[in-house]
Amino acid sequence: MNCSVCGTPLAPDVQYCPRCGTPTPAYYASTGSSPNAPTVTPLPPPPSAPYSGAPGAAPYTDYGAQPYGTTPSSTNPYDPYTPAPPPPTVADNPYVAPPATGYGPYAPAPAPVAAPPSRPRNRLPLVIGGVILALLLIIGGLLAALLHSVGPTSTSLNPAQMTATAQAQATATFTSSLTATAQASSNATATVIAANPDPYPPGNGQLALLDPMSDNSKGYDWDTGTFSNGSCTFSGGAYHVSPAKTNFFYLCAAKASNFSNFTFEVQMDIVQGDCGGIVFRADSTNGKFYFFDVCQDGSYRLYMYPDYSGTTSKELAGGASPAIKTGLNQPQLIAAVAQGSSITVYMNKQKVTSVTDSTFSQGQVGVVADAGNNPTEVVFSNARVWKL
């Protein structure tokens, strides 16, 4: 009989071959051929196929089944009749760790030493040091600039004298800059004044208001908006005024203005409807003003209004004047000169009439659109006022 694993011939009384090449019996059959063999019933034979483990693994080895009814030896769990194999050595089994006598590859690593707790680094000294360094650099640069600006003679000055000199030079430079700015502004003002002389008698007015009336950027606070009685709007680089109904006039004032003795001039163009004009020495909130009204048919009226009711208004002068351009879309200059109780009105720099009235002595300037029988729109631009 041969071993079923490796084919080694077996003795007649040997049924299994636990180790190939060493036909040590796992147990004896019940034939009684061995005087010390117990009477037992053998286990069923193992499978005929060898163990098929991982590639390169050792073949299946049966270390012997434990006989029924037999207590295994404490030193050999495989077979009570087979001595236990000696324990493996390092040479036999390279995976058996030798005694941990050093820091070899099989000795456990020593426990790590706990690191001391970390503390946040105090960066305040670094920040303070950086600030101080920056200040020193700035001061050094300023001192270098001052030394350079003072010139060769500064080498004989002590720091206090040098600082005083530098301060004097800085003050002089600043003062010179302010003087230059003021001079430039004065020159610009003088240029503007020279370009806008007072063209109306007595001709000695000082320019006090110059506004193209394209918007409210000049600070005179012209009325703006559309309301139930009319509208005042900036459009197309000019100021448009329209009453909301006929037989009615609508006033738009420069609320930030206030003049007593003056010449007021503005360019006027009746683009639709009937009449337009100017107001002066006005209190637009309460309806107190003088009103010079000019119509596109060549007629005019000069009124004094104590309130908006119209029932107490007073016509100071009226009629027709050849100085007035007739028809629509006729740009023309309308002006009034008020000095004390004397009031003179002009059209296109030609005198229309003069009156005397002392009801009002000062107030705002403004413009008016007057719709007699037709819807009316009047466009104004280039307002100028000269103080007398």
Is 105 domain-assigned? no
pTM attached to this predicted model? 0.55
pLDDT of residue 71: 46
Last residue of a domain, one of 88, 112, 133: 88
CATH of the domain at 231: 2.60.120.560
Q: Which of 72, 88, 104 is the last residue of a domain?
A: 88
Q: Note whether 81 and 221 are same-domain residues.
A: no
241 and 373 share one domain: yes
67 in a structural domain? yes
**143 belongs to a structural domain:** no
**In which residue are the tokens 């119509």 written?**
295
Determine, yes or no, domain membership for 172: no
Q: Which of 88, 112, 136 is the last residue of a domain?
A: 88
Residue 140 CA to residue 356 CA, distance in Å, equals 74
Angle between helical axes of 124-150 and 159-195 (0-180°, round to 10): 70
Q: Is residue 94 part of a domain?
A: no
Cα separation, 265 vs 69, whole angstroms = 139
Question: Do residues 223 and 362 both lie within one domain?
Answer: yes
In sequence order, the β-bridge partners of residue 209 are: 385
Do the domain assignments include residue 49? yes
Please compute the mean of the pLDDT values over residues 333-361 and round it to a whole number: 98
> Per residue in 288-341, pLDDT tens?
999 999 999 999 999 999 999 888 999 999 999 999 999 999 999 999 999 999
Do 84 and 212 fall within a single domain?
Answer: no
Query: 5-14, 249-258, 339-348: which range is least confident on average?
Result: 5-14
Q: Which residues of 144-156 are buried (b: 16+ CB within 10 A; e: fewer)?
A: eebeeebeeeeee
Residues of the chain with pLDDT > 70, as a percent, come to: 52
* Phi (first) and psi of residue 140, to 5 degrees: -60, -45
Q: Among 113-117, 195-199, 299-303, 327-331, where is mean pLDDT lowest?
A: 113-117
Could you tell me which residue, 309 or 232, shows the higher pLDDT?
Answer: 232
Give a yes or no: residue 103 inside a domain.
Answer: no
Claim to verify: residue 78 and residue 215 sit in the same structural domain: no
Q: Could you tell me the residue range of the domain that residue 324 belongs to?
A: 208-387
* 38 within a domain of the structure (yes/no): yes
Cis peptide before 59 (omega within 30 of 0): no
Buried b (16+ CB within 10 A) or exposed e, 67-83: beeeeeeeeeebbbbbe
Q: How many domains does the chain have?
A: 2
Range picked from 38-47, 92-101, 115-124, 217-226 for highest mean pLDDT:
217-226
